[in-house]
């Protein structure tokens, strides 16, 4: 783990323990809005175009955000329900990513997250913190740390979408 990853992990641990889950829901929602705006800024006709051969298109970024969110959200829900988190996340994007517009990705993301938000709001903040969710960079996180990570993940990809929008404008 490099210094930046260690710094992020320390942030997740400290803030995950300190912030009320309902507060984090609102922070995740705000990050999602930034993501939505960044995706909408990519020219619609170029949404599936990669700005460079070794970079993702906006379509691929949104697919990744949705897939990662579904993985981490599903793990959080399973842990809150008293079960195991499940297997680790697969890093590669599937080959059969649908080509959707920014608004369609946004709709899918909202739909996916709403159930998670309701579950997190109704959870006992101290429940099942001993059950860990595997993250490929940060190791084992409790559900509160994982939920807070989702905010950072959205913000990270918001920056990526803004870069794509600027490159393709």
pLDDT single digits (tens) 66-116 = 999 999 999 999 999 999 898 877 777 888 899 999 999 999 999 999 999
Which CATH number characterizes residue 156's domain?
1.20.120.450
Q: Average the pLDDT over 146-164 and give the result.
A: 97
Q: What is the pLDDT of residue 111?
A: 95
CA atoms within 13 A on the CB side of 91: 4
pLDDT, greater one: 34 or 92: 34
40-62: b (≥16 Cβ within 10 Å) or e: bbbeeebbeebbeeeebbbbbbb
Give me the number of domains the chain comprises: 1
CA distances from 39 to 32, 36, 59, 91 (A): 10, 5, 9, 21
Domain that holds residue 143: 3-168
Q: What is the pLDDT of residue 89?
A: 79
Does the model's pTM come out above 0.75? yes
pLDDT of 1 > 80? The answer is: no
Question: Long-range contacts for 20-27 (Cβ within 8 Å, ≥24 apart)?
Answer: 20/125, 21/120, 21/121, 21/123, 21/125, 21/144, 21/147, 22/120, 22/121, 24/120, 24/144, 24/147, 24/148, 24/151, 25/117, 25/120, 25/121, 27/148, 27/151
The pLDDT > 70 percentage for the chain reads: 99
Which range (20-34, 41-55, 87-101) has the least confidence? Answer: 87-101
Q: For all residues of the chain together, what is the average pLDDT?
A: 94
Question: Long-range contacts for 1-6 (Cβ within 8 Å, ≥24 apart)?
Answer: 1/137, 1/138, 1/139, 5/137, 5/138
Q: What is the pLDDT of residue 90?
A: 73
Q: pLDDT band for 18, please (50, 70, 90 cuts).
A: very high
Q: What is the pLDDT of residue 32?
A: 97
Q: What is the pLDDT of residue 87?
A: 82
């Amino acid at each position: 783990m490099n210094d930046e990853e260690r710094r992020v992990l320390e942030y997740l641990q400290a803030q995950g323990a300190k912030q009320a889950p309902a507060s984090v829901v609102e922070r995740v929602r705000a990050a999602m809005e930034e993501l939505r705006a960044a995706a909408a800024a990519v020219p619609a006709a170029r949404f599936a175009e990669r700005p460079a051969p070794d970079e993702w298109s906006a379509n691929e970024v949104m697919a990744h955000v949705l897939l990662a969110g579904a993985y981490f959200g599903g793990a959080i829900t399973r842990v809150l329900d008293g079960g195991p988190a499940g297997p680790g996340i697969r890093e590669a994007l599937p080959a059969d990513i649908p080509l959707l517009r920014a608004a369609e990705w946004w709709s899918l993301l909202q739909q996916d997250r709403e159930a998670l938000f309701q579950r997190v709001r109704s959870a006992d903040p101290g429940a099942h913190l001993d059950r860990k969710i595997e993250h490929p960079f940060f190791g084992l996180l409790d559900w509160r740390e994982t939920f807070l990570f989702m905010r950072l993940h959205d913000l990270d990809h918001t920056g990526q979408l803004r870069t794509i929008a600027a490159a393709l404008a």
